[in-house]
Each structure stands twice: as C-alpha cells, then as structure tokens.
Homo-oligomer: A and B are copies of this chain.
C-alpha cells in the first residue's frame, strides 16, 4: 500500500490522543506522546484548529477537541446502516426482555456503541452512544472477538485489564470461552465488567456471514441469570432472535 500521508496520520493520532483523558492537553505533552518536535506538533494543531477539529483554551493555551467533530460523529450515525437497520429491533428487544439494549461494533481494540435503548422504566439520561467498552469483559465484545480471528491477536498484545474480580485475564481462558461462544452462537458475561451487572449478546452478520456487529442486553445479574453464569434461556432466545432479525434486515437491499 503506497503512500499513507504522514501529516494526516499524525493529525488523527492527535485527535485520538485528545479523546483519551477527555481533558485539556498541552502542546509539549502532545508532541512528546507522538515523538514529534514541538514545532511540528504546533503546525498540525494550528491547522486542526482552523478547521475546528480542535479548540484552544485562551487562558491556559491547552488544546481540546473541537465542535466540528460532534457534527461529523452524528453524521456518521445517520449514515450507519447497522444502526438504522437495527433501531426498530432494538426497541422490540428492549420491550420483550425488559432490559436495556446496546448495539456495538469493533473500533480500535474496543467495542463502539452505535445504539443504545434504555430500560423502559428507566429515566437515566446517560446515553452510551459513542462510548467504548472493553472487548474481553463484555458480552458484546466476546461476540466480536469470537468471530474475528485477527482481532484476537490485536487484543493479546494489550494486557487484559482486570475490571472486577471475575474479569477474564488469562488469554487461554478467554480463548476457551470464545470457542464456546462460536459453538453456541451467543455470548454472556456476569460481573466481569461491573459488579452486579451481567449481559447477553449475539452476532449481527452481513449477507455472506461476516460478523459486523453485535446486539445485546444488560442489567442486574440476578435478572439476567437464573444461577451463577447461567443466563436465562428465554432472554438468550430473545437476543438471538433479534440478532437474526437484524442480520436478515441487512440482507435486504432497500
């Protein structure tokens, strides 16, 4: 692949860096993190500022993400087929299961949430759309890992960070779980991401069988599971049914 443009790659790396830590970063800090000269980093940031991808705090001089990115992000959502096709089914899954529903896809070694339906009786305003979840500790992530061989290799480099006492941290254990996921066609998780929380997820497939995303529910562990680590069969059926419906919807042309 000839000629990836360095300045653009560097600019993208800066934006990703600014997205981490969600705070204000200084020029020297940015330059050091990317291994660039201060002058070079400044030129890139100045350009990103002109196009409003980056803003600068006038008093401190530090840099943060810019407003134009918000519009680009929602424009992406509007054009995202996986999301638009699955919205209706996500609603019905939430209604039938009584739990909140998330639809995720892989991005950059994590699960990107592209849609989120709250529990019917929940008024919580924190919408997880655009948020990132760990691949190895969520049901959505396990599904994505199970059906993407290359992804697993990427993950193994990064440490499997322990989030709760029950998070899977041994690569061999994870691989065994993923084999079970492939065999069963769905994944579950109990208190591996957050204490007291559990989830169930199933793969969404493009025509041809390629897994492009996952749909799942999550909620209190005693409502998702009947015994430890054994999710309720009725909920599993609901999730798998919704996943198949979305996959079928992706096969139609309109």
Contacts and interface: CB of A to CB of B under 8 A. Distances in A.
Nearest to A53: B12
Interface in A3-26: 3-5, 7-9, 11-13, 15-16, 18-19, 22-24
A1 interface: yes
Contacts of A75: 18-19, 22, 65, 69, 130
Main secondary structure of the interface of A (DSSP, over half): helix
Interface residues of A, number: 53
A28 interface: no
A133 to B, nearest CB: 11
10 contacts: A3-B43, A5-B44, A8-B48, A12-B53, A65-B72, A65-B76, A70-B114, A72-B73, A74-B130, A127-B127
Number of copies: 2
A65 to B, nearest CB: 4
A105 interface: yes
Interface string A62-86: 0011111111111111111000000
Interface of A: 1, 3-5, 7-9, 11-13, 15-16, 18-19, 22-24, 43-44, 46-48, 50-53, 64-80, 105, 107-108, 112, 114, 127, 129-132
A67 B74 contact: no
Contacts of A71: 19, 73, 107-108, 112, 130-132
B105 A67 contact: yes
A69 B7 CA distance: 18
A14 B253 CA distance: 27
Contacts of A130: 70-71, 73-75, 77
B112 A47 contact: no
A79 B18 CA distance: 10
Contacts of A112: 67, 70-71
